[in-house]
Amino acid sequence: MSLAGERAHPEIIENIKKEMGIDKGFIRQYAGYLKLLLQGNFGTSYYTNRDVLKDITAKFPNTIVLAFAAMLIAVPAGTALGFMAAYRKDGFIDKCVNAVSLAGLSIPVFWSAIMIMLLLSLKLKLFPPSGTGDARFLVLPALVLSIPAAATLARITRITVLDILRMPYINTAKAKGLSSLNISAVHVLKNAIIPIVTIIGLDFGSYLNGAVVTETIFGWDGLGRFTMDGIIKRDYPVILGCVITGTVVFVLVNLITDIAYHFLDPRIRLDAGKN
Amino acid sequence: MGNKAISVVITIFLLVSCSPSSRLEGYVYYRLNANPTTLDPALITDVSGASIAAKLFNGLVRLNAGLEIVSDIAEKWEMSKDGLRYRFYLKKGVSFINGRKVKSQDFKYSFERVLNLKTKSPNTWVFDKVEGAKEFQKGTAHEVKGFKVIDGYTFEIRLKRPFSPFLSMLTMTPAYVIPKEDIDKSTGPFILKKWLHNRELILERNENYFGDKAKIKGIVYKIIPEDLTAVTEFELGNIDVISLPASAYSKFRKDEKWNKLIISMEGLNTYYLGMNSSRPPFDNATLRRAVSYAIDRKKILKTFYENRGRPAQGPVPDLLRKWKIEDNDREGSEYDPLKAKAIINREGLSGIKVKMYVTADQDVVDLAEIIQSYLSSAGIAVDIKQLEWSAYKEALNKGEADMFWLSWWADYPDPENFLFPLFHSSNFGPAGNRTRYANKKADSLIEQGQYALNEKDRNGFYKKAEEIIIKESPWVSFWHRTDFLVIRPRIKGYRVYPIYTMDKGMDVRIER
């Protein structure tokens, strides 16, 4: 009803129903939608009458940029913290990393977003609080988004590295007289990489679906805000379009992660058994 | 190595930061909380869209600061004695931005376009009292008989029956003129330069505007959905004017620097607790009246609502009410918990359970709990049901709620806009009468007000109608909300208007 407005002419409402196919049965509506989908047609928004696919393709690059930027902060920060904690197990650094990563995981994004905005934007005047555009606008949302990812990465890295440090081949490497840098870079990192890549893949995939809260607070014109607008207005073609895009992207990112395993760890190669 | 890495990070950080966000010189920066759905005057229903369209387009008449109807493109106009014909004489020097002169044919085209069902305008009701509108919509006529081009600069509108608020309805967004050849070409004081969806809109001064030209080079609207972000942008000077969200109100009030820069705007709106008058228990007018005794609205306004409004005497906003309400039961609008309890006991209704529907906004839920506690001491148990906005509207339109919290904002400044849609029995549900209140006497008084051409007679009918409605209390009218804005000191002359379509951006200027 809200489509045509509160006081719409009854005939306009009828016409809209006919046009959208609401007068037909559920199965036929569904089949109709699938058919359009296969033709690459996501339909048009109920409210703006704009092509949903066009809007998604316009906003998706922004979301990709934000996801990459967040990962660019999270991956080095998270893995470095994890390594440091593992090498200083039970020491001061380990305890600090533990506390920080626990905080990073448990602080809700809307709170950290507001705090970071108040500090870096309002008090220190380093970055603009909102908008979509060049790198200046990117820093705050990327920073906020990177916090939980970095926290997870730090914890996973720490546990994995600890496990590896207990392995006999590390002792062997030490016995061979290899430098500790060599051991860390070659033996530890190489073996720790699989769980790290898995986490990166999962987080990255979910960020590509749009970070609703972060994008809304920082006014970033990405997929998350677009989805949220669609949900609030019950703009079904938009919601469906976003969900489908999100699914495809998530599957793709996971596929890429799986392929990456193949290169990172020879034991996982599909043809490994043939040798 | 560690130090190197850190210094690299810091350098990058400094490179990206610091550069202040660039502002366009001579432009004023406003905030919108949502991307306008459309800027086609025939289709606009949202506040964002309408407030921008007001700066891009013109109609026959418009409202001045005193809520009087004054000339826009029509230089003058006259109404026939029977109130059926309005004749408008257009100014000769008005052009669209493509250079073509505005003539009466353009008004005929623009108005028929609104009525044309193919346009899918949600605003057809604005013109549905025009002679021949129905026939045109049914397809039995290829034009609307009541839109008559007398000559290039004389335009006449004929109505089916006298309708006194008609002229004030012509100040609304759907009554703007657009050229047939290109509906994006406007006439207004500003021209739409750029619209980056979900980011910003840039309006530039129309140098060929037929009236006084705007004092600023243009307007930039930043689309910022989050209130707190918008407040931060304002404090940083990236936005010049901001409507204060409730959460920031007391902070700005207490701040010496901002307190004197806050201006207020008494809005044409009424916030109310509606009761479904078409079914038990609230089909009982005595019980409804008891509910209005039971709630201390003034106290809620003062404490919970931080005085951000004026207490409502009835549904019609005080700015539009040209009469004095005589309530025989004078204390009726006052808080009287003992009387409320006595009535409820007398009616044998103590202990009844009712469902109150509210939206899921935290402010509204808090308020609902306050109302719940007042009613519970009066003997009515209220069960609060929270719904998301669309579902909420749908439930109200179907009449599912016993009680609900809602507001009504004026489309045009006439008491009729607060009586006919909201209380006339022909408007049940989405048209506005969500309490499903029906009273033959009130119906007839409201209709007589619509027919009456003399303002004094009209107000007489409206007054009587409002008195009946207050007595029967389908609504407990709470308050008329006042909005507060803060304006940066370098912005001068900014005015706020009770209706968002009134601001054509002509007053504001920037101090050098």
One DSSP character per residue, B392-438 reads HHHHHHTT--SEEEEEEE-SSSSTHHHHHHHH-GGGBGGGSBTT---
**Chain mean pLDDT for chain A:** 86
Proportion of chain B above pLDDT 90, given as a percent: 70
* Chain B residues within an 8 Å CB radius of A132: 198-199
Strands (E), A115-274: none
* Chain A residues within an 8 Å CB radius of B117: 9, 11-12, 15
* Chain A residues within an 8 Å CB radius of B123: 5, 7
Mean pLDDT within B226-244: 92
Write down the pLDDT at residue A30. 84
Please indicate whether, in this complex, the C-beta atoms of A129 and B120 are within 8 angstroms of each other.
Answer: no
- Structural domain total, chain A: 2
φ/ψ (deg, to 5) at B156: -125, 140
Residue A270 pLDDT > 80: no
Judge if A60 and A11 occupy the same domain.
no
Instruction: Please answer whether residues A206 and A174 qualify as being in contact, where contact means their C-beta atoms are separated by less than 8 angstroms.
Output: no
pLDDT interval class at B449 (50, 70, 90): very high
Q: How many CB atoms lie within 10 A of CB B23?
A: 12
Please indicate whether, in this complex, the C-beta atoms of B117 and A12 are within 8 angstroms of each other.
Answer: yes
- Give strand pairing partners of B491: B510
State which H helix or E strand residue A275 sits in.
none
Residue A111 pLDDT > 70: yes
Residue pLDDT, tens place only, A64-104: 999 999 999 999 999 999 999 998 888 899 999 999 999 99
Write down the pLDDT at residue B1. 44
> B114: which residues sit within 8 A by CB, 6+ positions away?
B42, B121, B123, B124, B126, B127, B174, B175
pLDDT interval class at A7 (50, 70, 90): low
Judge if A123 and A53 occupy the same domain.
yes
Interface of A with B (CB under 8 A): 1-2, 4-9, 11-12, 15-16, 47-49, 55, 58-59, 114, 117-118, 121-122, 125-132, 135-136, 139, 216-219, 221, 225-226, 229, 232-234
Please indicate whether, in this complex, the C-beta atoms of B225 and A216 are within 8 angstroms of each other.
Answer: yes
* Chain B residues within an 8 Å CB radius of A236: none
Residue B149 pLDDT > 50: yes
Please indicate whether, in this complex, the C-beta atoms of B17 and A136 are within 8 angstroms of each other.
Answer: yes
Residue pLDDT, tens place only, B392-440: 888 998 899 999 999 998 888 999 999 999 999 999 988 889 999 999 9
Mean pLDDT within B331-344: 83
Task: Tell me which chain A residue has its CA closest to the CA of residue B427.
Answer: A7
* Chain A residues within an 8 Å CB radius of B120: 4, 12, 15-16
Mean pLDDT within B108-125: 92
Structural domain containing residue A85: 49-274
Please indicate whether, in this complex, the C-beta atoms of B16 and A127 are within 8 angstroms of each other.
Answer: yes
Please indicate whether, in this complex, the C-beta atoms of B17 and A47 are within 8 angstroms of each other.
Answer: no
Write down the pLDDT at residue B4. 64
Residue pLDDT, tens place only, A118-130: 999 888 889 988 8
Write down the pLDDT at residue B272. 95
Q: Name the pTM for this structure.
A: 0.85
Please indicate whether, in this complex, the C-beta atoms of A218 and B229 are within 8 angstroms of each other.
Answer: yes
Of B16, B223, B233, Cβ closest to residue A129: B233
* Chain B residues within an 8 Å CB radius of A234: 390
pLDDT interval class at B9 (50, 70, 90): low
Mean pLDDT within B82-93: 95
Judge if A25 and A55 occupy the same domain.
no
Please indicate whether, in this complex, the C-beta atoms of A8 and B122 are within 8 angstroms of each other.
Answer: yes
Categorise residue A21: left if φ over 0, alpha if ψ from -120 to 50, beta otherwise.
left
- CATH number for position A167: 1.10.3720.10
Judge if A32 and A148 occupy the same domain.
no
Residue B13 pLDDT > 70: no
Task: Tell me which chain B residue has its CA closest to the CA of residue A55.
Answer: B197
Classify domain B269-481 by CATH number: 3.10.105.10
Residue B299 pLDDT > 90: yes
ipTM: 0.81
Write down the pLDDT at residue B106. 96
Mean pLDDT within A132-149: 91
First CA to last CA distance, chain B = 51
* Chain A residues within an 8 Å CB radius of B23: none
Return d(Cα A222, Cα B436) in angstroms, integer. 43
Best to test chain B binding among A54, A83, A130 (most B CBs inside 10 Å): A130
Residue pLDDT, tens place only, A182-210: 888 788 888 888 888 888 988 888 888 77
Estimate to the nearest angstrom the gap between the alpha carbon of B440 and the chain centroid: 28
Write down the pLDDT at residue A187. 83
Q: Computed over its alpha carbons, how large is the radius of gyration of chain A?
A: 24
Write down the pLDDT at residue A1. 28
Best to test chain A binding among B33, B114, B229 (most A CBs inside 10 Å): B229
User: Domain locations in chain B?
Assistant: 269-481
Write down the pLDDT at residue B21. 56
Write down the pLDDT at residue B302. 93
* Chain B residues within an 8 Å CB radius of A126: 13, 17-18
**Chain mean pLDDT for chain B:** 90
User: Tokens for B378?
Assistant: 């009066």
Judge if A31 and A159 occupy the same domain.
no
Please indicate whether, in this complex, the C-beta atoms of A128 and B238 are within 8 angstroms of each other.
Answer: yes
Write down the pLDDT at residue A4. 41
Residue A275 pLDDT > 60: no
Mean pLDDT within A205-222: 87
Proportion of chain A above pLDDT 70, given as a percent: 95
Estimate to the nearest angstrom the gap between the alpha carbon of A88 and the chain centroid: 30
Judge if A114 and A74 occupy the same domain.
yes
Judge if A147 and A240 occupy the same domain.
yes
Return d(Cα B102, Cα B109) in angstroms, integer. 11
pLDDT interval class at A3 (50, 70, 90): very low
* Chain B residues within an 8 Å CB radius of A114: 228
Return d(Cα B206, Cα B193) in angstroms, integer. 10
Please indicate whether, in this complex, the C-beta atoms of A9 and B124 are within 8 angstroms of each other.
Answer: yes
